[in-house]
């Protein structure tokens, strides 16, 4: 790995200037490296972070059976990493125009990293520096504890996809202006709703009474109200005080954090070093979370800008055809499949056009007539501004759910592909299943990264209880044993996992060895099961 030549660097500084003029905002410093294939082999398993900690699994080809890739996506393998300064990688034999194209794409990513709200927790430090410290920590621990360090890394990594990423985002907001729960809020938000006589009518009566008091006595309406309430419910103040004192349980949806806080095994004096390992795994995972949740948005944004900026760059005239070839490969919509670059780019372009004509406001959406909508044009010219706003505040799922509409689907002739068995020809047929925006949206949303939500608590007999929240999907059964085994070790005792399993209900008899004449109608029933891991053996029982 070596730094890019001064010649190329000079060109890239020119790119930065042009990008700034176009409105992109990013820090001045960037680092560009030339990498060989051999470097990539080393960097690949380390998610392109050269200083990431060593772990033996990185030396082994990780099994990715066909189809599993979708269920079990890795962190995106990028050309640029979100560090301070950002580092990007180039082949040594790239011609200048290609480097410019790639660099514009990279600038798009850097702008995204540094402005999108979902990355806000990654901005306070340089990840390469932290990773290096972690790597050294692991090396030191290995010299003391030997192979047990690797076991702990392994076990911690089994649940590193369940980190409480959104909790982190929420707390980094709340920390700004957090205030304790007031008695009034407690009365309305908790007491009235959980109390003995809860009911909508009572609730609205009380609201009404509160408002009336405020109107009648602008100075001390609230005090009067509270006084009347505390007189009526003598226990209210005591309950409120108790609630305020109550310590919040940490990491209810973050098993790693929960273990670090409450595991009796990890908090033993001789095992405290394991906490450091867990913290490294957890913070590394949190660092990568936004990247995988903004794939379409991030790639779409970068593609939008490499397209816009490259074609406007006067220094590389004459390479339009070369550019078009590469660009087509990157941003063409595949006949079948979902290319995040292509989809994201088209959405951004579509939204820019819509906003340019003022089609983002209430007036447009209240226009019912198809014809009137087509002619709707306020010529506001706010397209750029609008997409800059989206790049700042959205993630993939918001992006997809808010903006894929029928006009977009029709414009790009998108459809959902279905697969069915043709029994006469003994083939799988791929066919156009639907051209409805709702179906397309559902299909994209379905293929987004979505780790299971698992709630943790301690059950009777000091058992660690994991509760997998049912979202219409089962857990991959093959992996449960490995995960629970690790958890049992880290918890130091029995572990239970509750999850739902689909049980097929057979409608008719089948399986008679004939080539089947008809697909039997299949229904499934969800049953709640409990997996128990005790003394390194796994058992499964029906939980209902």
Partner 1 sequence: MHRLRRLYHQLEAKGLTDDQRRVIEHELALAERTGDPERVHRRGPAPRARSLYSYADPELFNQGLPSPALALSKVAAQSLDHLLQRDLQREKDGFPRKIRIGKLVKPGRDGDDKVVVIPTTVEEKLVHDRIPEEEGEGGEGQEPGEGGAGEGEEGEVIGEQPVREEQGGGSGPGQGQGGAHELESTVYDLGRVLTEQFALPNLRDKGKKRSLTRFAYDLTDKNRGFGQILDKKATLKRVLQTNIALQRVQAGTPVDTGNLMISPRDRVYRILSKEKDYESQAVVFFVRDYSGSMAGKPTELVVNQHVLIYAWLSYQYQNQVETRFILHDTEAREVENFQAYYQMQVAGGTQVASAYRLVNRIVAEEELARDYSIYVFHGTDGDDWDTYGEEALPELGKMLVYASRVGITIAENGLEGTRRSEVEKYLSKSGLLESKKELLRLDVMSKESTEARVIEGIKRLIS
Interaction with partner 1 in 144-173: which residues (CB under 8 A)? 147, 150-151, 154, 157-162
Between 281 and 390, whose beta carbon lies closer to partner 1? 281
Q: How far is the CB of 79 from partner 1 (least distance, A)?
A: 4
**Taking the complex as a whole, how short is the minimal distance between the CB of residue 356 and partner 1, in angstroms?**
24
The smaller minimum CB distance to partner 1, of residues 75 and 382, is found at 75
Check binding of 512 to partner 1 (CB under 8 A). yes
Burial of 498 (0-12, 13-18, 19+ CB in 10 A): middle
For the window 88-117, what string marks contact with partner 1 as x by the rule CB under 8 A?
-xxx--x---x--xx--x------------
Residue from 16, 46, 378, 433 touching partner 1 (CB under 8 A): that is 433
**Nearer to partner 1 (CB atom), residue 76 or residue 195:** 76
Query: Which region, judged by CB under 8 A, interacts with partner 1, from 112-120, 218-226, 238-246, 330-338?
Result: 330-338
Output the six-digit token pair for 510.
């089948």
Q: Which stretch binds partner 1 (CB under 8 A): 7-15, 179-187, 226-234, 417-425?
A: 417-425
What angle do helix axes 295-312 and 383-393 make, rounded to 10 degrees?
140
Q: Containing H/E element for 467? A: strand 463-468
CB of 27 to partner 1, least distance (A): 20
Cβ 441 to partner 1 shortest distance, Å: 11
Residues between 339 and 358 with contacts to partner 1, criterion CB under 8 A: 339-341, 343
Question: Whole-angstrom Cα distance, residue 542 to residue 501?
Answer: 10
CA distance 445 to 468: 20
Cα 506 to its chain centre, rounded Å, is: 37
Ramachandran angles phi, psi of 166, nearest 5°: -70, -30
Q: What DSSP element (H or E) covers 529?
A: strand 522-534
Question: What's the burial of 326, exposed, middle or buried (CB within 10 Å: 0-12/13-18/19+)?
Answer: middle
Query: 186 or 287, CB closer to partner 1?
Result: 287
Beta bridge partners of 498: 467, 530
Identity of the residue, 372 or 476, whose beta carbon is nearer to partner 1 in the bound complex: 476
Q: Which stretch binds partner 1 (CB under 8 A): 58-66, 166-174, 184-192, 202-210?
A: 58-66
Residue selected from 28, 511, 539, 544 as contacting partner 1 according to rule CB under 8 A: 511
Interface with partner 1 includes 239 (CB under 8 A)?
Answer: no
| 212 sits near partner 1 (criterion: CB under 8 A) | no
Binding residues among 395-414 for partner 1 as defined by CB under 8 A? 412-414
Helix (H) or strand (E) holding 239: helix 236-245
Does position 195 interact with partner 1 (CB under 8 A)? The reply is no
Residues 6+ apart with CB under 8 A from 432: 415, 416, 417, 418
Q: Residue 431 CB, nearest distance to partner 1 (Å)?
A: 5
Interacting residues of 318 by C-beta distance below 8 A, sequence separation 6+: none
Could you give the strand order of the β-sheet that contains 463-468, starting from the edge strand earlier in sequence?
A: 454-459, 463-468, 495-506, 522-534, 537-542
Give dist(CA 521, CA 517) in Å, integer: 12
Binding to partner 1 in span 444-503, by CB under 8 A: 444, 446-452, 454, 468, 471, 473-483, 485, 502
Neighbours of 405 (CB within 10 A): 15
Pick one of 416, 437, 458, 463: the residue that binds partner 1 (CB under 8 A): 416
């Amino acid at each position: 790995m070596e730094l890019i030549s001064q010649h190329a660097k000079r060109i890239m500084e020119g790119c930065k200037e042009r990008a700034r003029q176009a409105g992109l905002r990013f820090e001045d410093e960037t680092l560009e490296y030339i990498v060989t294939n051999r470097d990539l082999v080393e960097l690949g398993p380390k998610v392109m972070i050269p200083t990431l900690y060593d772990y033996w699994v990185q030396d082994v080809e990780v099994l990715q059976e066909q189809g599993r890739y979708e269920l079990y996506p890795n962190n995106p393998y990028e050309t640029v990493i979100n560090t301070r300064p950002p580092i990007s990688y180039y082949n040594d034999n790239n011609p200048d125009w290609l480097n410019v194209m790639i660099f514009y794409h990279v600038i798009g990513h850097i702008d995204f990293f540094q402005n999108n709200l979902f990355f806000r927790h990654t901005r306070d430090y340089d990840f390469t520096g932290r990773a290096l410290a972690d790597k050294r920590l692991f090396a030191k621990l290995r010299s003391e504890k030997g192979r047990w360090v690797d076991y702990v890394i392994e076990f911690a990594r089994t649940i590193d996809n369940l980190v409480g990423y959104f909790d982190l985002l929420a707390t980094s907001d709340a920390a700004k202006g957090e205030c304790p729960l007031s008695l009034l809020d407690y009365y309305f938000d908790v007491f009235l709703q959980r109390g003995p006589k809860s009911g909508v009518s009572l609730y609205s009566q009380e609201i009404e009474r509160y408002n009336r008091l405020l109107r009648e006595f602008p100075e001390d309406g609230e005090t009067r109200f509270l006084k009347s309430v505390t007189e009526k419910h003598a226990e209210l103040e005591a309950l409120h005080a108790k609630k305020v004192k109550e310590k919040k349980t940490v990491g209810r949806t973050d098993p790693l954090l929960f273990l670090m806080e409450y595991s009796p095994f990890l908090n033993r004096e001789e095992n405290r070093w394991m906490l450091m390992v867990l913290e490294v795994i957890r913070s590394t995972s949190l660092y990568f979370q936004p990247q995988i949740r903004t794939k379409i948005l991030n790639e779409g944004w970068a593609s939008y800008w490499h397209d816009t900026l490259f074609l406007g760059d006067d220094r590389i005239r004459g390479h339009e055809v070369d550019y078009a070839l590469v660009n087509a490969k990157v941003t063409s919509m595949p006949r079948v499949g979902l290319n995040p670059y292509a989809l994201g780019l088209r959405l951004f372009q579509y939204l820019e056009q819509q906003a340019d004509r003022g089609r983002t406001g209430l007036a447009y959406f209240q226009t019912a007539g198809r014809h009137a909508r087509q002619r709707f044009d306020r010529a506001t010219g706010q397209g750029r501004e609008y997409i800059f706003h989206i790049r700042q505040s959205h993630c993939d799922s918001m992006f997809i759910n808010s903006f894929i509409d029928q006009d977009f689907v029709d414009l790009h002739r998108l459809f959902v592909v279905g697969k069915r068995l043709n029994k006469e020809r003994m083939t799988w047929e791929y066919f156009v299943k639907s051209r409805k925006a709702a179906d397309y949206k559902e299909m994209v949303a379905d293929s987004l990264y979505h780790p299971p939500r698992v709630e943790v608590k301690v059950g009777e007999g000091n058992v660690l209880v994991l509760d997998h929240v049912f979202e219409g999907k089962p857990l991959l059964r093959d992996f449960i044993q490995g995960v629970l085994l690790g958890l049992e070790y880290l918890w130091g005792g029995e572990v239970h996992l509750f999850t739902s399993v689909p049980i097929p209900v057979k409608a008719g008899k089948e399986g008679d060895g004939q080539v089947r004449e008809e697909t039997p109608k299949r229904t499934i029933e969800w049953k709640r099961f409990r997996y128990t891991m005790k003394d390194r053996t796994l058992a499964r029982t029906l939980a209902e």
